[in-house]
Structure 1
């Protein structure tokens, strides 16, 4: 039986889902990983058919060499770990099983480069600029306009995203990111960013974008042999002051067919303009009052994060994880089912403060609420949680709500039941 290799950087909920999708294609699944603690290896042994251990999973040559030592012709190499998608694609190139060029993913993990590509393709988006020193705040504010959003150039999960309204606030945001990012445990912030004319140091140079105004949406896009297919529109009606997502709905409660098509067109155009093929992308948009649907994020090479794949499967019958694995391996598309006949809600709950997670309580009580379909806890004991970053700790899928106000009330009710115990790190 042929073997597909699943590459992981750190522990993640996605590993079990991707391995299950690989097995569903009839292939074996071996995990490529850095050295594991015995307890974690014992847990993963129940999921995978073997291990390939390398010192650094971000080293494409080392990953390819280790896989080649196991088999001359792997069925494919796949990951859903945000920080290593480009290097895994490069390993696939070295092994002769690439489905999308690694260079494409290198560009898509550089948010400034993405802005430039989309603008060159004539797609609307916010004005943007890089800021590399606190002293540049005034000139960058003049170029981009205020209010604005400040974010890491290669960030994810809304990590250290800040909204600023004045030059002084922009300078303060620069100082904050320059202070905090070097302390991050996330390896992506400790290596240079490619994809542009010159490498960018992610702990010294940040992206500033003009603030868009309008409702927020997400569209997962599947691209197979040059044809882009949008899965569904997910509405984000509940967002807090940190820009963290609290609640989503699929399909949106009130969205015309015309507006749905406009969002689909913007998302698929962005995926194709970036050169994505035989892969997927999670595209986030704001339907700006002046620009119309404008792409704000393109997370390429993986489906939506957290329990959003569960949301999409409940709402549409499409398993985006299985679709992504099929695209990465070149296997036949998976069978699709039917979605529920009513909108499905997705509620997200975050720990407050920062520290190592000891335990989460209250999820059983939330599961007993009449509207709740499923509760998915993503985080694990010992994991470092911080309210600088949008870490989807507890995820609740629900149905039977009447409107956004009803969904917000359900979120408030569940929030009273869920309790996180953190230990200072």
Structure 2
């Protein structure tokens, strides 16, 4: 195989922790990794060049035709091993570029529609899967009618959101109207460009995520996440991760793998719903990260499906430590049409936890203090940080700034006590933005 044929091209739009994981996975699989990026500052370009085997600069990272053309230029017209990204807003762009280059694995139209949470709700309902009542809202004057349709309490969220950005739980019509007004005010100012771009709908048109929002009836029950590999029409769940400690913003603070109190029967019910859901979206030859609540009335119910990418933050490390499965290696192998990688042999069989420390609001990161003291705790296995000094952090979304992997706990109370101990030691220093 020539050099081009063993090169995966990785699209990135902004700095991201996942990029090094993808490059490392490609190298582990015997592939080269070339980064496709918009123009960046000289020091950032040097960092990318030190990470990957090549760097390809492009004017518009969202233009699939331009991406495909830039890759053709880099390969001399030869077909690459694959094209991929874990940046959610350009997953469909990468898939379309792969199609244009003759190496498409999961249809771009499937991934584009999966980015629309309302469309996903419709598809799951048509497949006979449980789900909350849901509706779109675009005007505060619609709050009463939507509340009657969906029921209260409810959750209001961006139609294409991720990382719990601007998700609000509302318990009255007035709160619903206020949440809609808040999203209408804040999303046009959001630094994440996804909220400024049209979202494809099932009729061939689009929704404006700055003014059309999703309202869903509130689910009640324990929450889990499941990562899935889909190969030639077969979906295989890799691991169930428990989310026993969640704060008032719906940010997960601590996770456990495997879940400590989940029976085999409930685990089977959860994975069954997850498998049926990803297949209902026509996902294939890719990976997906799925969030589930085992609702006290409806049973296992999909919260969201992140199609075409592995779990975010550093949670892939939690899954790898316990199961030996590297979700980023699975991701790259699926995009390149390679066999599934063999799990690592050095897995840890006891329950493992991930403790997540978030920045205290928004600002520019100055430093993270206290990590040496955390490493001295006997339960700590490793620490992964996903941010670096100078980076601008938001208090409106999940930013897995510090991830502490632990063992030696026996129940949720002990995991919560560990979380309290860790958060007393860690201090994330921010400076306000000008």
Does TM-score exceed 0.5, indicating one fold?
yes
> Pairwise mapping of residues 52-63 of structure 1 onto structure 2 (< 5 A)?
52-63=56-67
Per-residue deviation, residues 343-369 of structure 1 (Å, max 9, x unmatched): 010111111121111111112211221
- In structure 1, the residue matched to 2:241 is 234
Per-residue deviation, residues 358-415 of structure 1 (Å, max 9, x unmatched): 1111122112211111111111222222221111111111100121000001101111
- In structure 2, the residue matched to 1:354 is 362
1:302 to 281, 296, 309: 309
Structure-1 separation of matches of 2:429 and 2:90: 30
For residue 46 of structure 1, give the secondary structure of its aligned residue in structure 2.
Answer: helix
Whether 1:158 aligns to 2:158 is no
Per-residue deviation, residues 204-261 of structure 1 (Å, max 9, x unmatched): 0100000011000011010001111000111100000110100110001111111111
Structure-2 separation of matches of 1:226 and 1:136: 41
The runs of 5 or more residues in structure 2 that have no matched partner are none
Per-residue deviation, residues 117-150 of structure 1 (Å, max 9, x unmatched): 0000000011000010111110010000000000
- In structure 2, the residue matched to 1:172 is 178
The answer to whether the 8 Å contact 1:103/1:195 transfers is no
The answer to whether the 8 Å contact 2:129/2:277 transfers is yes
The runs of 5 or more residues in structure 1 that have no matched partner are none
Structure-2 separation of matches of 1:364 and 1:418: 9
How big is the shift at 1:151?
Answer: 0.4
For residue 206 of structure 2, give the secondary structure of its aligned residue in structure 1.
Answer: coil
Structure-2 separation of matches of 1:383 and 1:126: 37
Structure-2 separation of matches of 1:3 and 1:393: 31
- In structure 1, the residue matched to 2:255 is 248
Structure 1 length as normaliser, TM-score?
Answer: 0.98
- In structure 1, the residue matched to 2:146 is 140
How big is the shift at 1:55?
Answer: 1.0
For residue 387 of structure 2, give the secondary structure of its aligned residue in structure 1.
Answer: coil
Structure 2 length as normaliser, TM-score?
Answer: 0.96
- In structure 2, the residue matched to 1:65 is 69
The answer to whether the 8 Å contact 2:170/2:176 transfers is yes
For residue 397 of structure 1, give the secondary structure of its aligned residue in structure 2.
Answer: strand
Structure-2 separation of matches of 1:400 and 1:174: 44
- In structure 1, the residue matched to 2:50 is 46
- In structure 2, the residue matched to 1:11 is 15
Aligned Cα RMSD in Å? 0.9
For residue 303 of structure 1, give the secondary structure of its aligned residue in structure 2.
Answer: coil
Structure-1 separation of matches of 2:351 and 2:330: 22
Structure-1 separation of matches of 2:342 and 2:262: 28
- In structure 2, the residue matched to 1:414 is 422
- In structure 1, the residue matched to 2:276 is 269
2:85 to 79, 100, 104: 79
Structure-2 separation of matches of 1:190 and 1:383: 22
How big is the shift at 1:337?
Answer: 2.5
Whether 1:396 aligns to 2:375 is no
Structure-1 separation of matches of 2:218 and 2:365: 34
- In structure 2, the residue matched to 1:382 is 390
> Pairwise mapping of residues 55-134 of structure 1 onto structure 2 (< 5 A)?
55-71=59-75, 72=77, 73-134=79-140
The answer to whether the 8 Å contact 1:352/1:386 transfers is no
Structure-2 separation of matches of 1:324 and 1:29: 13
Per-residue deviation, residues 126-177 of structure 1 (Å, max 9, x unmatched): 1000010111110010000000000000011000000000000000001111
For residue 359 of structure 2, give the secondary structure of its aligned residue in structure 1.
Answer: coil
How big is the shift at 1:327?
Answer: 0.6
For residue 328 of structure 2, give the secondary structure of its aligned residue in structure 1.
Answer: helix
Structure-2 separation of matches of 1:45 and 1:369: 36
How big is the shift at 1:196?
Answer: 2.5
Instruction: Please say which of residues 108-117 and 375-384 is displaced more in the overlay.
Output: 375-384
For residue 80 of structure 1, give the secondary structure of its aligned residue in structure 2.
Answer: coil
The answer to whether the 8 Å contact 1:5/1:32 transfers is yes
Structure-2 separation of matches of 1:322 and 1:169: 44
Runs of 4+ in 1 over 6 A off after TM superposition: none
Structure-2 separation of matches of 1:139 and 1:210: 14
- In structure 2, the residue matched to 1:315 is 322
Structure-2 separation of matches of 1:391 and 1:196: 31
